[in-house]
Amino acid sequence: MRSTAHGLRFSASASDYTFATVADGNRNGVRTAELASGIDRVLSEPELIATHFAGVAFGFHEGIPDADGHAAGSLDGVRIGASRLLIVNADGTATSGTLYLRGRGRSQYAVRILGVTGRVRVLRYDAIRNRWLDV
């Protein structure tokens, strides 16, 4: 409704990430430098995903491959670029990337965002079949 880019800014916090809602302040996209200077706005306080979903954190359980079938390489669950900004633009496009969420036991999910269309897919790792499945 506001015809401006909005998104989430992820910040490393111990073994997890906090996230905060952000908005473009000058219609040129959300930029890290402009967030620091106050041109782009932070709309919410940073919070952990566990605040809303007990036992859930961004990351991988040991030994689970990423959604492309490769060894995870690191346990980092926020894979949306170096700026750690997930932005949705007024034209429907978005930042491409994948957010990996681990839960209690060995539950593992992936939220994949396709930037060109803004399409979002949710995947669940099936440990018995050793593969990712659409939810």
- pLDDT, tens digit (0-9, with 9 covering 90-100), for 60-118: 999 999 999 888 778 889 999 889 999 999 899 999 999 999 999 999 999 999 999 99
Can you give the three-state secondary structure of the chain, one letter per residue?
A: CCCCCEEEEEEEECCEEEEEEEECCCCCCCCHHHHHHCCCEECCCCEEHHHCCCCCEECCCCCCCCCCCCCCCCCCCEECCCCCEEEECCCCCECCEEEEEECCCCCEEEEEEECCCCEEEEEEEECCCCEEEEC
Report the pLDDT value the prediction gives residue 15, as an integer from 0 to 100: 83
Report the pLDDT value the prediction gives residue 6, as an integer from 0 to 100: 95
Prediction pTM value: 0.92
